[in-house]
Amino acid sequence: MRTKVVIVGAGPAGLLLAHLLHQEGIACTVLEQRSQDYVAGRVRAGVLEQVTVDLLARLGLDQRLRAEGLVHTGANISCDDEVFRVDFADLTGGASVVVYGQSEVMADLNAAAVSRGLDVRYQAEHVALHDLDTNHPYVTFTENGEAARIDCDFVAGCDGYHGISRASIPPNVLQTFEKVYPFGWLGILAEVPPCNHELIYASHERGFALASMRSQTRSRYYVQCSLDDRIEDWSDDRFWDELCLRLGANSGAEVVRGPSFEKSIAPLRSFVAEPMRWGRLFLAGDAAHIVPPTGAKGLNLAATDVIMLSEALSDVYSGAGKAGIDHYSQRALARVWKAERFSWWFTSLTHRFPDTSSIDRKLQAAELAYIRSSRAAQSMLAENYVGLPLTL
Ligand code: APR
Ligand code: PHB
């Protein structure tokens, strides 16, 4: 069989790209190694930048988002017992973010993929990319136990950090940059009202904590934990006690406790692979870059990558030329690196690093105090948090 674009991976990057190409009338097939339930059920961050909200609107996929998403015009930063609010709307000339879980985004993308007849193949095994540096690339895989082959013009590697696409780029071409943080995030979901109507990022002597939410009745909370910790070490009671301590007396007192129905530990990593294009292969989303979750940039970066990639591919098929695909890697990376910087900075500002001297904690506290007192510093935080513009 033949198509124009093969997309590897049906996470947010792959499905958003499939919808964008479908809207442009560009035939594509998505190959996903896992089951639909597995992909849709993964619990991830839940803060959408305006650019991501606009993308979902452009795709006609924002009905539930508009009804159920929570618009946040600011967020709180807490340092030990002191809390201040960063007013995004005031600092950025009206910008805001929308709190709407990635699993909800995935549910909307999947439902529309079915109703619009997108070609998404789940449980596609042994996906392998061939002849990417020629004008006739093709992809082989196994479907229902049978070998299959798709010839195409382009391949979009949207297969996440552990995918095969990035690994298909020759090592002498690919450069990678990585930082692994010496801690993880322990996150829970609980059917309890959030402790605050906006998010609270808490920097505490005992470690970072984050109060987030999925709805008015469902809370998402995190505490920084050791990489050696196991889920079994963290009973619900221990989690709630630790969270309340780190959020400080006032916010901690507002926390409503309840049984957790999801609990997991995630490591934190900053990672970028350059270039994001090799021959007719284009990387997008986590296949090319990972950010630590502080600032919730992962899903938003996947969205902006595929906006840029779909524009570039549309130019090729509309006859507007190849400048877009030639420029894709450079354009995407320019925005990626700024989000990497912000996520690293926000992580460094708010987390407790083991084996650092007491001066580091004092410097962190001084920087937080500076941000609290400086409109300029808050503007930097706000404009990055709501999302930097897509430049040419
Ligand atoms: N063949 C086919 N599919 C694959 C392969 C493979 N060899 N390897 C990985 N995949 C699939 C994974 O099963 C997964 O469903 O690719 C998908 C990649 O999805 P994500 O890891 O979610 O990556 P991405 O779509 O770039 O999402 C970016 O969403 O999931 C979050 O943390 C992520 O916030 C980030 C954003
Ligand atoms: C979340 O709600 O899961 C979330 C919110 C903000 C972050 C990270 C995660 O920075």
**351 noted as active-site residue:** no
CB of 101 closer than 6 angstroms to any ligand 2 atom = no
Residue 304 lies in a domain: yes
**385 noted as active-site residue:** yes
CB of 157 closer than 6 angstroms to any ligand 1 atom = no
DSSP 149-218: EEE-SEEEE---TT-STGGGS-TTT-EEEEEEEEEEEEEEEESS--SSSS-EEEE-TT--EEEEESSSS-
User: What's the pLDDT tens digit per position in 241-300?
Assistant: 999 999 999 999 999 999 999 999 999 999 999 999 999 999 999 999 999 999 999 999
Atom from ligand 1 closest to the CA of residue 297: 34
For residue 22 the two structure tokens come to 């479908």
Query: How many other CB atoms are there within 10 angstroms of residue 114's CB atom?
Result: 10
Distance 103 CA to ligand 1 centre (A): 13
Which pLDDT band, with edges at 50, 70 and 90, does 107 fall under? very high
Residue 219 lies in a domain: no
**293 noted as active-site residue:** yes
For residue 320 the two structure tokens come to 């507007």
- Using DSSP bridges, classify how beta strands 281-283 and 5-8 pair: parallel, antiparallel or unpaired: unpaired
Q: Given ligand 2 and candidates 104, 106, 199, 262, which is best to mutate, with the most ligand atoms within 8 Å of its CB?
A: 199
By alpha-carbon position, which residue is closest to atom 9 of ligand 2? Answer: 45
Residue 139 lies in a domain: yes
Q: Nearest ligand, CA of residue 213?
A: 2
User: What's the pLDDT tens digit per position in 302-333?
Assistant: 999 999 999 999 999 999 999 999 999 999 99
Distance 163 CA to ligand 2 centre (A): 24
CB of 45 closer than 6 angstroms to any ligand 2 atom = yes
Nearest Cα residue to 117 out of 8, 182, 30, 190? 30
Nearest Cα residue to 284 out of 225, 350, 346, 328? 328
C-alpha to C-alpha distances, 247 to 16, 71, 183, 252, nearest whole angstrom? 35, 22, 18, 5
CB of 164 closer than 6 angstroms to any ligand 1 atom = yes
Gap between the Cα atoms of 76 and 135, Å rounded:
51
pLDDT of residue 238: 98
Q: Nearest ligand, CA of residue 45?
A: 2
Secondary structure element (H or E) that encloses residue 298, with its range = helix 298-318
Please state the rounded mean pLDDT for residues 110-132. 98
Distance 43 CA to ligand 2 centre (A): 11
Side-chain-side CA neighbours of 262 within 13 Å: the count stands at: 16
Q: Kindly compute the dihedral angle of the four CA atoms of residues 328, 151, 174, 341, in this order, to the nearest 10 degrees.
A: 40
Residue 215 lies in a domain: no
CATH number at residue 289: 3.50.50.60
**72 noted as active-site residue:** yes
User: What's the pLDDT tens digit per position in 40-56?
Assistant: 877 788 899 999 999 99
CB of 200 closer than 6 angstroms to any ligand 2 atom = no
Of 100, 289, 293, 328, the catalytic one is 293
C-alpha 355 chain-centroid distance: 29
**263 noted as active-site residue:** no
Which residues constitute the domain of residue 114?
5-45+101-178+269-349
CB of 194 closer than 6 angstroms to any ligand 1 atom = no
Nearest Cα residue to 344 out of 353, 356, 355, 332? 353
Secondary structure letter of residue 352 according to DSSP: P
Residue 216 lies in a domain: no
Distance 32 CA to ligand 1 centre (A): 9
For residue 314 the two structure tokens come to 């549309």
Helix, strand, or coil here: 251?
helix
Residue 187 lies in a domain: no
Of 201, 221, 222, 328, the catalytic one is 201
CB of 297 closer than 6 angstroms to any ligand 2 atom = no
By alpha-carbon position, which residue is closest to atom 6 of ligand 2? Answer: 296
Residues 6+ apart with CB under 8 A from 187: 43, 220, 221, 222, 262, 263, 264, 265, 266
Gap between the Cα atoms of 25 and 196, Å rounded:
44
pLDDT of residue 41: 78
Q: Kindly compute the dihedral angle of the four CA atoms of residues 34, 182, 213, 205, in this order, to the nearest 10 degrees.
A: 170
Residue 123 lies in a domain: yes
Of 22, 72, 204, 289, the catalytic one is 72
Higher pLDDT, 37 or 61: 61
pLDDT of residue 307: 98
Count of the separate structural domains present in the chain:
1
Is the pTM above the cut of 0.75? yes
Given a cut of 90, is residue 37 above it in pLDDT?
A: no
Residue 281 lies in a domain: yes
End-to-end distance of the chain based on CA atoms, in angstroms? 35
Please state the rounded mean pLDDT for residues 171-177. 98
Given a cut of 80, is residue 392 above it in pLDDT?
A: no
pLDDT of residue 228: 96
User: What's the pLDDT tens digit per position in 131-167?
Assistant: 999 999 999 999 999 999 999 999 999 999 999 999 9
Place of tokens 């901690």: 252
